[in-house]
A and B are shown apart, each in its own frame.
Chain A
């Protein structure tokens, strides 16, 4: 089974803070990590390979530093890694990112399954997976929490929905996105770390993947960011005092006053 995993290097948003005086993000010392959802994608790909044989290739689009994320994936056990990097990719929105990823995947060759995390924690759009699937003209199934069966050109999996889950059958090749519930990602192995250390990541630019200049980067992006600003601060908070019953009483009175209870 040939599997492609889509990976994104993101700033650890848990560490990003806003400077309220200047309304800017404080990113000093904020580490770059593999998008947490992509860790589940990598793990699931490795488990499928262990069960069905084959090869796992991790792909990312990003600046040269993003090769670090690919090396981490290799340390976990991924066989091969491809970095799509070109200044011309800069400023890509989800459409233009998906376009480049689809072109990169086509160059890699035949595959049975593409796995991505449900969304990236920096952008939270959850759009690159389904848009890439559309551009590759393969079926897409979101929010997979369990792969029940893979047989020949068919896969059965559980898709987490707002009110429960669906059991979905899809033909392969397909692109799926996975949620946290699916597995527990492994730690890198010593062997994997050695392999990652000596690995030269395959790097392709826009020309290598035959990308249309008009469809990549900022130029190929239908959306534009026009303004960035900090969220409105929450209103005043009230720290209550007194006995537990008194505090609960105060809360109850206030909530009732606002018709919340």
Chain B
């Protein structure tokens, strides 16, 4: 594929220059010129009022025989034998994709002492579960997890493989995609499949959530994607479903290069913010560590987790693992209470897809109110205690 400018039609109006999301069009001698930053996304083709820009779709030859690849796979993540909630979301989404393609849904389950949980994956929609259960797979390891999945994928040729966009999924999926020479799309928030061609339309936010991009892997298989937590609907459980559990033996190839010496769980609250349905977040507006601690009480009343802006983390009020935003985590809870947060775009990028946002700020012009569902103008040090009291009443 390529983008070309027809100099006879180009009027030099520069509309395409502003339309290009990648700043890949320059003016040279009064005509538009496509630079090497071009990703052939086609935004300029739609923007040009003079039909002066063409996107030629050369019939690129598939790198592999696409029809040899069938079925939808999900990587079922587990922690100490507990199936991660994102895995159930993947099964829910994977089931839909597989049904549209009239194909099977399989789960790949990797760990140690986990085999008895495989039936749960079937109850949640999998037709086949490949279980690699081995003491050597107890801790997450990029090399061994990638080896298991790569070997299976080469053997069975799935059309699609999905993982959660978690610390683990985003760490080892790229290695699998690199080895298989195929496309991987990170942190998708929407998936759809072309029932005829099997092309997976993978939509994800980019530029800090300022734009959405839909990406396909037209000529390579399997099509791989990581999916953002809490966006897809989890699969319902049906204990009467049946399926095949297939044991996979793990063989250590070569020497062990990395190993986990120890694992430390250090979140002060019970909930990982990426998993939380309710998040109470605070920014510099809280003013002090003591005031920030009120948020923990509010979170406790609501059964939620505490998060923070970069500013609050830099003040030392809470650990970096709680930071939401561009240089922290991206969260997608049902309810996000933003207390004393101004709403800098770096923070908003990490939380703007929450279902409901309650913003509390004493400045009525604070940008956080632009993304808020409910805005309370007031001093957080009065509002938070009032909320704790009120919510406690409601929840009894």
Contacts and interface: CB of A to CB of B under 8 A. Distances in A.
A223 B199 CA distance: 11
Interface stretch (A67-75, A103-111, A166-174, A187-195): A166-174
Nearest to A165: B264
A234 B267 contact: no
Judged by DSSP, the binding face of A is: mixed
B178 A238 contact: no
Contacts of A171: 255, 257-258
Interface string A160-189: 111111111111001000011100000000
A250 B335 CA distance: 15
A222 interface: yes
Given A27-B23, A63-B35, A134-B178, A225 B212 contact: no
Interface string A221-254: 1111111111100110111100011011111101
Given A179-B320, A238-B373, A261-B391, A169 B259 contact: yes
B178 A224 contact: no
A63 B142 CA distance: 32
A50 B378 CA distance: 49
Given A164-B264, A166-B140, A225 B213 contact: yes
Contacts of A247: 376, 378, 383
B47 A24 contact: yes
Nearest to A249: B390
Contact of B177 (A95, A141, A229): A95
B186 A90 contact: no
Report the interface size class on chain B: 35 or more
A167 B264 contact: yes
Given A163-B272, A238-B374, A239-B375, A252 B259 contact: no
Given A89-B36, A162-B167, A224-B216, A169 B258 contact: yes
Contact of A63 (B2, B37, B260, B335): B37
A35 to B, nearest CB: 10
Given A91-B40, A94-B184, A248-B376, A18 B172 contact: no
Given A89-B36, A143-B171, A261-B395, A180 B209 contact: no
A202 interface: no
B220 A225 contact: no
B257 A139 contact: yes
Interface string B366-396: 0001111111111000110011001100110
Contacts of B36: 63, 86-87, 89-91
A244 B218 CA distance: 55
A155 to B, nearest CB: 10
Interface stretch (A41-49, A51-59, A125-133): A125-133
B142 A167 contact: no
A152 interface: no
Given A162-B167, A256-B394, A228 B40 contact: no
Interface string B192-225: 0000000001000111111111111111100000
A228 B376 contact: no
Contacts of B262: 166-167
Nearest to A251: B374
A139 to B, nearest CB: 4
Interface in A86-101: 86-87, 89-91, 93-95, 98
Report the interface size class on chain A: 35 or more
A230 B212 contact: yes
A226 B374 contact: no
Nearest to A224: B216
A231 B205 contact: yes
B19 A24 contact: yes
B211 A228 contact: yes
Contacts, number: 311
Nearest to B377: A239
Contacts of B259: 168-169
Contact of A222 (B1, B175, B182, B371): B182
A143 B215 contact: no
A235 B394 CA distance: 26
A226 B214 CA distance: 6
Given A93-B183, A122-B206, A224 B215 contact: yes
B2 A222 contact: no
B112 interface: no
A234 to B, nearest CB: 6
B81 interface: no
A89 B37 CA distance: 9
Contacts of B137: none
Contacts of B352: 231, 234
B265 A164 contact: yes
Contact of A160 (B167, B258, B382, B383): B167
B208 A121 contact: yes
A211 interface: no
Contacts of B163: none
Contacts of A125: 186-187
A13 B210 CA distance: 8
Nearest to B60: A219
B52 interface: no
A252 B272 CA distance: 24
A199 interface: no
A149 B13 CA distance: 58
30 contacts: A13-B345, A19-B18, A24-B19, A24-B47, A86-B36, A91-B38, A122-B207, A127-B170, A130-B171, A131-B178, A134-B175, A139-B142, A140-B171, A142-B142, A160-B167, A165-B263, A166-B264, A168-B258, A180-B327, A222-B182, A223-B184, A225-B40, A228-B41, A230-B212, A235-B373, A237-B373, A238-B375, A245-B386, A251-B387, A261-B335
The 6 closest A-B pairs by CB, nearest first: A222-B183, A90-B36, A223-B183, A130-B174, A134-B178, A13-B208
